[in-house]
Amino acid sequence: MGRTKLSTIFSVNNHPVLPHSNPISENLVENPSAQKNRFSPYSLFGLLRNLFFAKKDDGGSRTEEEERVYNWLYNLAQSEKDLVFEYVRSTERGLSFKEAERRLRENGPNVPIEYFFPKWWHLIWNALFHPFNIILIVLSVLSFIASDNPNGSIMLTLVFISVSLRFYQEYSSSKAAMRLSEHVRCPIKVQRCAGRVVQTELVVQVDHRDIVPGDIVIFEPGDLFPGDIRLLSSKHLVVSQSSLTGESWATDKTADIREDRSTPLLELKNICFMGTSVVSGNGTGLVVSTGSKTYMSTMFSTIGKKKPPDEFEMSLRWIFYLLVAIILVVVTIIVVTDYSTSLDLSRSILFGISVASALTPQMLPLIINACLAKGALAMAKDRCIVKSLTAIRHMGSMDILCIDKTGTLTMNRAIMVNHVDCQGLSQEKVLRFAFLNSYFKTDQKYPLDDAILAYVFTEGYRFHPSKWTKIDEIPFDFIRRRVSVILETHADAKDSLSGRFMVTKGALEEVMRVCSYIESFDKNEISIFSSDHHQRIFNLAEELSNEGLRVIAVAIKNLEMQQRRETGKGSMENDENFEKGMVFLGLITFFDPPKDSAEQALWRLAEKGVKAKVLTGDSLALAMRVCREVGIRTTHVITGPELEQMDQENFHETVKRATVLARLTPTQKLRVVQSLQTNGDHVVGFLGDGINDSLALDAANVSISVDSGVAIAKDMADIILLEKDLNVLVAGVEHGRLTYGNTMKYIKMSIIANLGSVLSLLIAILFLKYEPLTSRQLLTQNFLYSVGQIAIPWDKVGEESVKQPQRWSERDLPMFILWNGPICTFCDVATLLFICFYYKATSDLDIKFFHSAWFIEGLLMQTLIFHLIRTEKIPFIQDIASWPVLCSTLLISAIGITLPFSPIGKVMEFTVLPLTYFGFLVVLFLVYFTIGQLVKRLYILVYKRWL
């Protein structure tokens, strides 16, 4: 690869004049075959494409954009510094102000996501563009034309509710993506060059939005990296990458290294990423990527985008398309037939509108939203906030729950486990000096100090801190990664220990670095700290880490009285040689214990068919120990770096089998969720609370966060837990399945009842040559029937529907209709024949009689059919509906029966019916329930399920 000559970089007046394109970087990262999407999401073609061909990434491989960023960063990490300057078209002096302005105009502001917030009318259009809404709008307009104002108003109200809820959800989801920019807002120190003849290097403060590729940034503790950075120089640099990895531990970075391709991306030592921060140390770096080309932005580029419809929504659309087709065919036939006999076109059209209205399940939005709202209220009592009502339905279908380890399975606090020497044996002296260090340190108390103090006090140790006097302290910092205190005591009769001591504890490597001696407790002597001791301690620490324990080391130094060093606190901190020649004592081990409720909750979820997978950024050993203690199998485990090396087929197979996935990056968490959804055909829930969880939260079917989570995680979540307790999710799963069960009751019952009713109307009008019901009577029947369905969300659901995840089957509804639909039509035809031949109501003089009889039978049929559909068992005998449903059934039935006998019945042109007809209805419904129960048992025998 050739180098660009210096003469091409600088012009005569010494201003950097750089080319607008860079062939080197383009060859490194560009894919010539890449093509952009040609259709706008708001165009007609885009809408149709989204409606019929929505597809979700299967998660098996990186996207083209991610692959480009990976290649770019790896090549920079492997290159020498001078070649890196050529890649980004910069110089060791930095960019000129003029060149930086040009690049800012060319690249745009340095924001993590190139996200264009959609206008409110676009969101409303998307919410309105739904077949069910279109049907209701058309029918409401026709109802107003037909002077049926109440029916038209009801349908418009239902449309308004549906559109409002969807608009609110999409608006909230889109707005959440903008929150990412909050994590990089700060002034940045940048080195720029100025001057026409003699260039001068200047350090200026620039807003992060104005940073461009090629800038040289200067950073120190507390600074955020404004883009992806290739380090140029570093001194004791420690960086926090918790925003990307979720791990609380900081990582060392250095400029004096060349990485290779085998190193995981987030573990590259000479690359710092946008959104991460400096914990300690300082240095300089070259900005190599900004804005939408950073690693962070490619990770979060999918956030806020519209998700494809799930199975339930797609199946509802299929139902509505079916209804449209039936309405067009059946209503046309009815209008033509009615006109051929009445020769009154306006009357026939009005009757056709009434039939179309009766065919449409008008209460569907209200029933669904009422079911979901009822579930949301029930979950609120369990300290759970539901932001997206549809998530409750998804919880009923969820069969895999992906959870993080820290704070979810564990208590998120350290518990001290043991205090051992280099042989791995418990030694009280190790604990004593660890306790004294934690007791007397004052600079800052950490959770590990609290764990040591709690262990000593609860286990009954008496180390008498009152006999010790603190002389000085060297506080903890992220460069030394240890803390030292100087204490003094005098011997007494019970304790021979006396003198002045420096007690140090901290990271194992850093404590061992200042030790020259080691105490051998078995020999009761202090010996030279040899390489054998060094290796033995490292092996012991590795064994303890593999058991899921965190380790810190303890060392002491006896400061002889004649060599006492009276110093102030500040002078000791500046003396780098003061901590040396120490005696290594041993190790203190800690563990984040699992919650008492975790094992029980996971067992309850497993009983309900929900499998748990642990997705964490922590180490594999720690994750495995926690999982074993809460009952999660650890026979199939994998790490993020291992997943990265797999091809697509092995990736999917491994994700399917694995129960513990550790050291995952945010992108890998996303791919795991997508793989389970598309390749495994699972409904996936994800519980996370960090920025690193946002990708997976956005992709999951059910996204769950906690009230203590970061803002972006809570914005992405559908459900927010006010406390991290998995038992709340168990209750949520139960509520979701109750919601699904009652929703399916209404859908299947209404489709069968409506189709059966309309088919019966068609048969009756062909047989009678006149309308079996007038438009007013038909709309009244439909109104009473719809009002009676309001109680459905409060019905109870059988145990068989709560035990396993409930999924919509595309083949289920058509077969369900074919099996059960003809029974309703059979009963209506039987009623038709009975009225015509028993009462001889075939002349024009008996039309009122027929209308009254047909009205009552149709209303009772549509009302009572719910009790047959709602349960697998024998209705009213083995299973009785809830009292709200029973009251609704009795009330609507009573109104329907008494209506012909009331003054309102006269207005509606009804007449009084004989008691023999009601006797016939009793026999008819007994036959209906008998045949319906036999068909139900055969259906369950064939398809192994009912609802």
Active site residues: 404
The structure tokens listed for 136 are 């209701």
d(CA 804, CA 799): 10
The structure tokens listed for 271 are 């690359």
The structure tokens listed for 201 are 């290097």
Beta strands 684-687 and 702-706: pairing type?
parallel
The dihedrals phi and psi of 419, each to the nearest 5 degrees, come to: -140, 110
CA–CA–CA angle 197, 203, 209 (5° rounding): 110
Specify burial of residue 80 (Cβ count, 10 A radius: 0-12, 13-18, 19+).
Answer: exposed
For 58, other C-beta atoms within 10 Å of its C-beta total 17
Q: Is the dihedral of CA 920, 923, 929, 933 positive or negative?
A: negative
Q: Where are the alpha helices (DSSP H) in 771-902?
A: 775-788, 800-803, 812-838, 847-869, 883-898
Q: What are the beta bridge partners of residue 96?
A: 193
CA dist list (Å): 90 to 9, 16, 142, 287, 941? 8, 8, 68, 10, 74
d(CA 692, CA 247): 9
CA dist list (Å): 654 to 646, 647, 688? 9, 11, 22
d(CA 907, CA 897): 16
Tell me the CB-side half-sphere exposure of residue 368, using CA atoms within 13 A: 19
Nearest of 685, 828, 830 to residue 391 by alpha carbon: 685
Nearest of 5, 3, 92, 30 to residue 286 by alpha carbon: 92
Q: Where are the alpha helices (DSSP H) in 679-768?
A: 694-699, 711-716, 726-768
d(CA 640, CA 661): 7
Q: What are the beta bridge partners of residue 705?
A: 720
Beta strands 660-662 and 637-639: pairing type?
parallel
Q: Where are the alpha helices (DSSP H) in 614-665?
A: 620-630, 640-644, 648-657
H/E element, 553: strand 550-559
d(CA 899, CA 876): 26
The beta-strand segments (E) located in 601-730 are: 611-615, 637-639, 660-662, 684-687, 702-706, 719-721
CA dist list (Å): 900 to 351, 426, 757, 913, 924? 21, 91, 20, 8, 20
